[in-house]
A and B are shown apart, each in its own frame.
Chain A
């Protein structure tokens, strides 16, 4: 048994879980699917005194669309999300959910756990910025909604206050003429992405870009929006030349770390290539082309 000993609790409701976490104090951690937390505990990078198992709380596994918003329950496993109607309707969601790690991790790992863990390179926190998502949290002070860019503050650090839990993620349903894609580059299925890119865009009937959001993962301590690149594209008829300019603008804001996977220069080049590939898929999807998402393995 590699993890340090901890006390185990299994609350019956969300309210009870929040009360328990608040009462137990900062030594307590929530446990959802455990696919990020358990490896951390096995390495003893963290030694919580108590684990509050929220994995089987009722009513937190859902994906629905209402009043122009799509909501995904925090305890929805990645694989379940990938098979949901929401993912079928919004391809960038399917790319992300169906591409995370491998089938086994997708069985257990949850969207709420993933955004709460806020691993710097992981898929959901990056992809959700391309959808301008909001994180719905419930804690001792009640419910609040936090935009994703204000939720993930730093690697492994979120805006969650003590005792607070993510209950759902929501974003506006993409308008007609929208297309999106998310592609990660990784060593193998089970590995975290080295870099990833997401593009969500809306074209009008004259193929003019009405809206676009571009996100880069693995390009800094947290995922970042390439706002200058977006400005290059908005209001214009998109062409390969324009995308090339946008890609240059995007990698100008990328600050990837040099590590065992490659130099910063290599990763900027990787991000540029990934972005052009992702943009190409997003453009074709905006014209209703059916393209299966596929991550790229080194």
Chain B
């Protein structure tokens, strides 16, 4: 068994927030490191880095995933949405606006992941009830405790029949 060559690079092409990127990466590079270090998209946070806290949640082809538990090479050819991709033309996304209005955060470190999980939920289930919301963010509960304002913020968007996604 030979020692792997640390210099192996794999060329990947991904679309992040609508923009195409082509990069040669080491296979062991995690998606979250790719986003933060290669693309300078630091809105995606590294929290526990053990696949527990969900702060690093992004969407890959529409599904919420923990970017600390995914190699960048696995995302090759995929469409990635990060928290930076939510706002459009300087306007906050309705979820971001609602988090702001309801003070849907405590320390705020988990907020990008919360937003990405909530966004994925409301895409599949635009009028999700509280039970569905709790289940959807179960992988994002961190350690501040509470979460009531986060639930209220997501619920407000789910209940807003006029609000667009």
Which residues of A does B touch, CB under 8 Å?
Answer: 1-8, 10, 25-27, 31, 34-35, 38-39, 41-42, 49-51, 53, 55, 79, 101-105, 107-108, 188-191
Contacts and interface: CB of A to CB of B under 8 A. Distances in A.
Interface centre among A39, A79, A103, A107 (most CB of B within 10 A): A103
B64 A6 contact: no
Nearest to B9: A8
Given A108-B69, A108-B70, A102 B54 contact: yes
Interface string B120-150: 1100000000000001101111000000000
B6 A103 contact: no
Given A51-B27, A107-B64, 9 more contacts: A6-B27, A26-B1, A42-B50, A79-B63, A103-B64, A103-B117, A107-B60, A108-B70, A188-B138
B80 to A, nearest CB: 13
Interface stretch (B16-24, B28-36, B89-97, B157-165): B28-36
Contacts, number: 106
Given A34-B71, A103-B64, A105-B139, A5 B51 contact: no
A188 B145 CA distance: 13
B110 interface: no
Q: A-B pairs with the 10 shortest C-beta distances?
A: A102-B139, A8-B27, A189-B138, A107-B63, A27-B1, A5-B6, A3-B28, A104-B66, A5-B4, A190-B52
Contacts of A26: 1
A51 B4 CA distance: 11
A5 B8 CA distance: 9
A28 to B, nearest CB: 9
B57 A104 contact: yes
Interface of B: 1-6, 8, 10, 26-30, 33, 49-54, 57, 60, 63-66, 69-71, 73-74, 117, 120-121, 135-136, 138-141
B152 to A, nearest CB: 20
Given A38-B69, A51-B27, A108-B65, A101 B4 contact: no
Contacts of B117: 103-104
Contact of A35 (B2, B69, B136, B138): B69
Contacts of B73: 8, 10, 53
Contact of B69 (A5, A34, A103, A189): A34
B131 to A, nearest CB: 9
Contact of A103 (B10, B33, B138, B141): B138
A103 B60 CA distance: 13
B29 A190 contact: no
Q: Classify the secondary structure of B's interface with A.
A: loop
Contacts of A188: 138, 141
Given A1-B33, A101-B139, A103-B135, A38 B51 contact: yes
B28 A1 contact: yes
B45 to A, nearest CB: 14
B70 A38 contact: yes
Contacts of B29: 1
Contacts of B3: 49
A220 B139 CA distance: 27
B95 to A, nearest CB: 16
A6 B8 CA distance: 8
Contacts of B120: 103
B129 to A, nearest CB: 12
Contacts of B2: 49
A105 B66 contact: yes
15 contacts: A1-B29, A2-B28, A2-B49, A6-B4, A7-B4, A31-B71, A38-B69, A49-B2, A103-B120, A104-B66, A105-B139, A107-B64, A108-B66, A188-B141, A190-B54
A2 B57 CA distance: 19
Nearest to A83: B124
Contacts of A79: 63
A26 B1 CA distance: 8
A39 B51 contact: yes
Nearest to B28: A3
